[in-house]
């Protein structure tokens, strides 16, 4: 049996963008054993990519910190006898580990002088690629055909069962239009203002049959509380902030009609389970990091000049590009989706 190891990236949204890589590898070699090496924070999401047979956590700041721990990991990988490794991560240190593990064929981008550690080198692209296409190019250059570039996620059965019980407990299992607002984001510059979310909730509350839900990670509880404190009728909102694991969120969003979020991992999860999404973009570019799921994604972004290229000015004093997308913009798009 052919053994394939994919060395993945570190962030939730980027890992979702990597999902088509595994489907293409599976299509090319249906009987292969496909494993993925990745940091612990993305392990849950990887277990929802059905083409992956094994996830190997690499906790470089914890359990795998230090020379001894890394050598143990090298020996573990070596014992498995992988035939090929594909690097989606641009890490030099991970390329060294995989070279030491003796995997004979190693493919990835030239970066930080690591080309000498690879047997197949993909040159950096001269054009701007969507992040998903950037990862797919590594396997395409190695001769793997890619027929489907959409991202798809499948939650485990136990998460789906828990979500079914949760929907019933909150009276969300039937009737109405289930609309989720997700205010979090991995950096503040990409977040829509709290007051905008609160005013959007007020407008959604006026829609007949609207069932409003707010979601987020445990770290987003304060953010959700601030938004609900500004809403006219916070009791009209089901607050699930911090109550869903990643796999449960994946299962939950399959039951949602419309998902509203800034550019974030959960936005990409929604599209990857077939849920219509409204994505609010400011400093990032949807051409490069927009949703790639099978569901329809409605992107709202205003050209304010400084966001014609991705902006990483984290100390921006007014976050104007996000504030430029108004509550009426978002609400009007939701109404269009409902009437379509």
The pTM assigned to this predicted structure is 0.94
Instruction: Tell me if domain 3-141 and domain 158-339 are identical in fold.
Output: yes
- pLDDT score recorded for residue 151: 98
pLDDT score at 173: 86
Strands 210-214 and 297-300: unpaired
pLDDT digits (tens, 9 = 90+) for 38-94: 999 999 999 999 999 999 999 988 999 999 999 999 999 999 999 999 999 999 999
Instruction: Look at residue 275 and tell me whether its pLDDT is greater than 90.
Output: yes
DSSP of 45-85: HHTT-TT--EEEE--TTTTT-SHHHHHHHHHHHHHHT-SEE
Q: Could you give the count of Cα atoms lying within 13 Å of 199 in the half-sphere of its Cβ?
A: 12
Q: What class is the 3-141 domain?
A: alpha beta
d(CA 297, CA 339) in angstroms, rounded, equals 16
The beta-strand segments (E) located in 74-122 are 84-87, 105-109, 120-122
Measured on CA atoms in the order 227, 230, 231, 235, is the torsion positive or negative?
positive
Architecture of domain 158-339: 3-Layer(aba) Sandwich (3.40)
The whole-chain average pLDDT of the chain stands at 95
- pLDDT 10s digits, 90-141: 999 999 999 999 999 999 999 888 899 999 999 999 899 999 999 999 999 9
Q: Distance between alpha carbon 133 and the CA centroid of its chain, in Å?
A: 15
Task: Identify the helix (H) or strand (E) that includes residue 329.
Answer: helix 327-339
Confidence band, pLDDT 50/70/90 cuts, at residue 7: very high
Structure tokens at 83: 């035939």
Can you give the residue ranges of every domain in the chain? 3-141, 158-339
- To which H or E segment does residue 180 belong? strand 177-182
């Amino acid at each position: 049996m052919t053994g394939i190891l994919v060395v993945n990236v570190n962030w939730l949204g980027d890992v979702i963008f990597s999902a088509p890589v595994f489907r293409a590898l599976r299509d090319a070699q249906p009987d292969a054993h496909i494993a993925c090496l990745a940091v612990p924070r993305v392990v849950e999401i990887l277990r929802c990519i059905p083409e992956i047979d094994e996830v190997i956590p690499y906790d470089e700041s914890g359990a795998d910190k230090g020379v001894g721990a890394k050598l143990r990991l090298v020996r573990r990988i070596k014992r498995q006898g992988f035939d090929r490794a594909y690097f989606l991560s641009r890490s030099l240190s991970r390329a060294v580990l995989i070279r030491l593990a003796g995997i004979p064929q190693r493919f990835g981008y030239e970066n930080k002088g690591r080309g000498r550690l690879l047997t197949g080198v993909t040159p950096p692209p001269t054009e701007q690629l969507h992040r998903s296409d950037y990862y797919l190019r590594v396997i395409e250059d190695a001769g793997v055909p890619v027929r489907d570039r959409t991202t798809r996620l499948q939650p485990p059965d136990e998460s789906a069962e828990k979500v079914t019980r949760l929907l019933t407990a909150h009276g969300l299992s039937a009737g109405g239009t289930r609309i989720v607002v997700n205010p979090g984001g991995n950096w503040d510059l990409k977040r829509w203002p709290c007051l905008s979310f609160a005013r959007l909730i007020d407008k959604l509350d006026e829609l007949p049959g609207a069932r409003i839900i707010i979601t987020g990670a445990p770290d987003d509880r304060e953010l959700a509380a601030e938004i609900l404190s500004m809403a006219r009728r916070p009791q009209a909102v089901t607050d699930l902030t911090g109550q869903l694991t990643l796999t449960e969120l994946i299962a939950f969003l399959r039951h949602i009609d419309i998902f509203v979020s800034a550019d974030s991992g959960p936005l990409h999860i929604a599209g990857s389970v077939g849920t219509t999404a409204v994505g609010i973009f400011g400093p990032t570019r949807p051409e490069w990091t927009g949703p790639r799921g099978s569901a329809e994604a409605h992107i709202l972004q205003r050209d304010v000049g400084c966001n014609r290229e991705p902006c990483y000015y984290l100390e921006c004093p007014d976050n104007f590009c996000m504030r430029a997308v108004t509550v009426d913009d978002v609400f009007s798009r939701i109404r269009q989706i409902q009437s379509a």
